[in-house]
Amino acid sequence: MARVVVDVMPKPEILDPQGKAVLGALPRLGFDGVTDVRQGKRFELEIEGELTAERLAEVEKMAETLLSNPVIEDFAVRVVETDGAARS
Amino acid sequence: MARVVVDVMPKPEILDPQGKAVLGALPRLGFDGVTDVRQGKRFELEIEGELTAERLAEVEKMAETLLSNPVIEDFAVRVVETDGAARS
């Protein structure tokens, strides 16, 4: 049993209207000092069995083909937990 | 200059139709071995100036009032970078 996190963020050169909307709303709510906001997605996947290198490669493939659009988004795969032991 | 990441995930007891849709699509795409998927949001905030405890408390407040809906979502605030030095 392992938990893998896939972070999907818009590429830096891509406009991010959701992030811009948040950035615009902050001063109206009384928050200052934030110069940029980017909004992306976070997926938490529970993987059964042992997390082998092969299985991790499969998760990378999932991230590339299903969870992100590689034309406009970057993704990062991180293992956060294996067999109950937390790893950063 | 600091970069703060806010992760927003649906609470465990809340149905997550987006995550369920991804979970359902995986076997059709030939991926096996994933037992659960949860989909949430990830925000990257650029904070100007020094990241004091007071400023970090303000980011927590933003996360609670603007970036998440505390009724159905949990959030976590993480500092990933201060003055160009990466911190996990």
Q: What is the ipTM of this complex?
A: 0.89
Give the pLDDT band of residue B85 (cuts 50, 70, 90).
low
The CATH class that applies to domain B2-86 reads alpha beta
Convert the pLDDT of each residue in B22-48 to its tens digit.
999 999 999 999 999 999 999 999 999
Report which of residues B74 and A50 the model is more confident about: B74
The pLDDT of residue A82 is 78
The two structure tokens encoding residue B34:
């994933």
Label residue A78 exposed, middle or buried (CB < 10 Å: 0-12, 13-18, 19+): exposed
Residue A18 distance to chain B (closest CA, Å): 10
| The listed CATH number (3.40.630.10, 3.30.1280.10, 2.60.40.420, 3.40.630.70) that belongs to domain A2-14+40-86 | 3.30.1280.10
Mutate to test the interface with B, among A34, A51, A75, A78 (most CBs of B within 10 A): A34
pLDDT exceeds 80 at position B83: no
pLDDT exceeds 70 at position A87: no
Compute how many other C-beta atoms are within 10 angstroms of the C-beta atom of residue B82.
Answer: 15
Residues on A contacting B at a C-beta cutoff of 8 Å: 7-9, 19, 22, 25-26, 29, 31, 33-49, 55, 58, 61-62, 65-67, 88
The fraction of chain B above a pLDDT of 90, given in percent, is 88
Contact call for A33 and B61, based on CB within 8 A = no
Convert the pLDDT of each residue in A7-60 to its tens digit.
999 999 999 999 999 999 999 999 999 999 999 999 999 999 899 999 999 999
- Rounded mean pLDDT of chain B? 92
d(CA A88, CA B63): 22
pLDDT exceeds 60 at position B87: no
Residues on B contacting A at a C-beta cutoff of 8 Å: 7-9, 19, 22, 25-26, 29, 31, 33-49, 55, 58, 61-62, 65-67, 88
CA B14 from centroid of its chain's CA atoms = 16
CB B19 within 8 A of CB B39: yes
CB A75 within 8 A of CB A67: yes
CB A81 within 8 A of CB A11: no
d(CA B84, CA B62): 23
